[in-house]
Structure 1
């Protein structure tokens, strides 16, 4: 929804983070693949190559450190929430522990608070619900 506001370098960094989140629990689901494809369409860029087995090519801390704009940081956290909640998870505490670890690392690296995470999670769930309702309305 807001990814088009990122610059090119931030978009690539976001895709790296999104793939890292999606693979963090060793289950890159079809839902997550579709969400990442939607991210690419929104950002108008090609998807990246991500090798989850090559720790030399990706370092979460270094990637997060590249994102210095506070607005971009908040956009990335908010959009990452859609990836973890897209699989019908209902509460921040119920996401997979590895996905939660990545989200927590984002919060810490971006100097955001736990309150940010809670508010972003609730907003994301509401938006995902509205999107589902909208698709259903189109099919009526």
Structure 2
């Protein structure tokens, strides 16, 4: 939703984190794969531009000078990825905590991001409002969280 704000290096680092999260539970679920390719498209990147991540510290160094908003966007999207397959594996939780700490995302903000995605499911599943209104509402709520 907001990935177009990232520069190319930030986008590559984000995609490396995506791979790490998606594989942390040893299952790269179909929903995660679909989202992976959607992310590539949104970032205007090719799959072969994303090196395997052997060291998360190198990613943290790359993202160290990114703005707070961009680091929030990255973490926000990673939470969505972790929740998309309906499973929130313990390894994913641990990795997300580590990433959040290294990106200097406040704990309250991390919780708010997770709650957003739980609310997203509720709004999308139970609301009778048309889809475009739902998306506008969710985007507006996400924008407030990222501020």
Give the TM-score normalised by the residue count of structure 1. Answer: 0.79
Q: Does 1:60 align with 2:53?
A: no
CA contact (8 A) 1:25 1:99 kept: yes
CA–CA separation in structure 1 for the residues paired with 2:62 and 2:90: 25
CA contact (8 A) 2:24 2:91 kept: yes
Structure 1 residues 15, 130: CA separation in 2 closer, same or farther (over 3 Å shift)? farther
Gaps of 5+ in 2: 132-147
Which structure features the higher share of helix residues?
2
Q: Does 1:105 align with 2:98?
A: yes
In the TM superposition, residue 122 of structure 1 has moved relative to its aligned partner by 1.4
Task: Please report the RMSD computed on the Cα atoms of aligned residues, expressed in angstroms.
Answer: 2.2
Partner of 2:71: 73
CA contact (8 A) 2:25 2:92 kept: yes
Partner of 2:86: 88
In the TM superposition, residue 130 of structure 1 has moved relative to its aligned partner by 5.1
